[in-house]
Amino acid sequence: MKVLTEVELEATPYEVGVHVTHCCGKHGCKYGDSDCSVKSGEYAQKYACPSCKGADYLAAEQKTLQSELAWTEQLATRGIIVPRDSDGYDY
């Protein structure tokens, strides 16, 4: 089973990369493809799927995101960074 680095992943064809980043060796192909490179064991999946993660992992991930948001808001309040909307305009 080949484990791709970030650089290798960016250089792989879309047909391989999409499976590496979205499919699970244990739970199968997100897209139902019979030739999924992750399900077949040719490539290792890059991320745990929601079924693999479980409720504890998802709760910890949410806590991390909340921390990162709080830190970003502090930097914005201090003028260290300028918040932008989704179109790239300053608030």
* pLDDT single digits (tens) 63-73: 777 888 888 88
Phi-psi region of 24 (alpha: psi -120 to 50; beta: other; left: phi over 0): beta
pTM for the structure as a whole: 0.52
Alpha carbon of 89 to those of 3, 12, 62, 68: distances in Å? Answer: 39, 33, 27, 21
Per-residue pLDDT of 22-62, as tens digits, reads 898 888 898 999 999 999 999 988 888 877 776 666 676 77
**30-63 in b/e burial notation, b at 16+ Cβ within 10 A?**
beebeebbbbeeebebbeebeeeeeeeeeeeeee
Residue 90 has pLDDT above 60, yes or no: no
